[in-house]
């Protein structure tokens, strides 16, 4: 009996190996596409299609998490209407939630589930999405329990505290604390610096905001070259332009 079990185990392992290798190959290809999407934004579409094809066959946590991230990027960069954005973020939420169910201690799974949830709510309208707040605060608590030094976690927390009305838990002081903690951990994470500048503008500290935005525009080694090129530097320039006569 034992030899039969051993043979069966070896057979299962042999079947699993190609599946794992395929998932690893797809993950590597997707990361390469995402890393350089600024050279051609259609690379996000390619990554999205490749992941959906693969997820139809297998659903490892790594690919679910990557797919949630790509859906977020699609909503941010490629979608051309609110309806299309909401669909992308909703799909990202679905994929992220499945990843969380499979790997409840995965920081990345919780991050991309929460980030898509937050962006979905932001696109829908904060006041129309207040029912999501308990989920957002629970996810932030989980993320920081897993990794107190989560840079994306601090970026997300800052945005939640900044965007949500004070009556429902918003707190600009806490938002600023999270933005600054994230930047202390990764000074070249330019989206954090843009968001800190938005808060500084909202609180009337325009000279500080200009300095932060200038650092984004003049950054020479951003943590994400693609995000800096396509999203962060244009936003920084737009905000600087809006401050010209103030």
State pLDDT tens for residues 26-57: 999 999 999 999 999 999 999 999 999 999 98
Question: For the residues of 11-62, what is the DSSP string, one character each?
Answer: HHHHHHHHHHHHHHHHHHHHHHHHHTGGG-THHHHHHHHHHHHHHTT---HH
SS3 230: helix
Contacts 24+ apart (CB under 8 A), 5-12: none
Query: Could you tell me the residue range of the domain that residue 42 belongs to?
Result: 14-127
DSSP state of 167: G
Count up the domains in the chain and report the number. 1
What pLDDT sits at residue 138?
97
In a domain, 246, yes or no: no
- CA 170 to the chain's CA centroid: 20
What pLDDT sits at residue 129?
84
Per-residue tokens: 27: 């993950």
Which parts of the chain have pLDDT scores under 50? Answer: 1-2, 5-17
Count of CB atoms situated within 10 Å of the CB of 9: 10
CA nearest 160: which of 111, 91, 211? 111
CATH code, domain carrying 37: 1.25.40.10
Using only the alpha carbons of the chain, give its radius of gyration. 20
State pLDDT tens for residues 228-245: 999 999 999 999 999 998
In a domain, 163, yes or no: no
In a domain, 221, yes or no: no
Instruction: List all residues 6 or more positions away from 214 whose beta carbon is below 8 Å from its beta carbon.
Output: 236, 240
In a domain, 44, yes or no: yes
In a domain, 190, yes or no: no
What pLDDT sits at residue 58?
87
φ, ψ of residue 80 to 5 degrees: the values are -115, 5
In a domain, 169, yes or no: no
Count of CB atoms situated within 10 Å of the CB of 51: 24
Cβ–Cβ < 8 Å for 212, 243: no
What pLDDT sits at residue 245?
84
Please report the sign of the dihedral spanned by the C-alpha atoms of residue 221, residue 225, residue 229, residue 230: negative
What pLDDT sits at residue 23?
85
What pLDDT sits at residue 22?
83
Instruction: List all residues 6 or more positions away from 75 whose beta carbon is below 8 Å from its beta carbon.
Output: 84, 85, 86, 88, 89, 92, 116, 119, 123
Question: Measured between alpha carbons, how far is 190 from 114 in angstroms, rounded to an integer?
Answer: 20
Instruction: List all residues 6 or more positions away from 93 whose beta carbon is below 8 Å from its beta carbon.
Output: 68, 113, 116, 117, 120
In a domain, 56, yes or no: yes
Instruction: List all residues 6 or more positions away from 51 whose beta carbon is below 8 Å from its beta carbon.
Output: 26, 30, 63, 66, 67, 70
What pLDDT sits at residue 190?
98
Cβ–Cβ < 8 Å for 77, 34: no
What pLDDT sits at residue 4?
52
């Amino acid at each position: 009996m034992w030899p039969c079990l051993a043979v069966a185990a070896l057979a299962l392992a042999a079947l699993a190996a190609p599946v794992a290798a395929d998932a690893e190959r797809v993950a590597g290809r997707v990361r390469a596409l995402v890393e350089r999407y600024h050279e051609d934004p259609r690379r996000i579409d390619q990554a999205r299609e490749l992941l959906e094809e693969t997820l139809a066959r297998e659903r490892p946590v790594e690919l679910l998490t990557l797919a949630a991230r790509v859906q977020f990027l699609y909503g941010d960069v490629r979608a051309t209407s609110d309806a299309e954005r909401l669909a992308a973020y909703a799909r990202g939420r679905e994929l992220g939630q499945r990843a969380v169910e499979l790997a409840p201690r995965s920081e990345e799974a919780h991050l991309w589930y929460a980030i898509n949830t937050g962006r979905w709510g932001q696109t829908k309208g904060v006041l129309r999405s207040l029912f999501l707040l308990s989920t957002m605060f629970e996810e932030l608590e989980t993320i920081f329990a897993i990794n107190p030094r989560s840079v994306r976690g601090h970026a997300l927390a800052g945005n939640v505290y900044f965007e949500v009305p004070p009556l429902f838990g918003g707190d600009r002081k806490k938002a600023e604390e999270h933005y600054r903690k994230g930047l202390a951990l990764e000074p070249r994470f330019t989206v954090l610096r843009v968001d800190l500048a938005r808060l500084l503008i909202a609180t009337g500290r325009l000279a500080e905001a200009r300095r932060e935005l200038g650092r984004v525009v003049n950054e020479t080694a951003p943590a994400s070259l693609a995000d800096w090129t396509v999203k962060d530097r244009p936003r920084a320039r737009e905000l600087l332009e809006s401050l010209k006569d103030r």
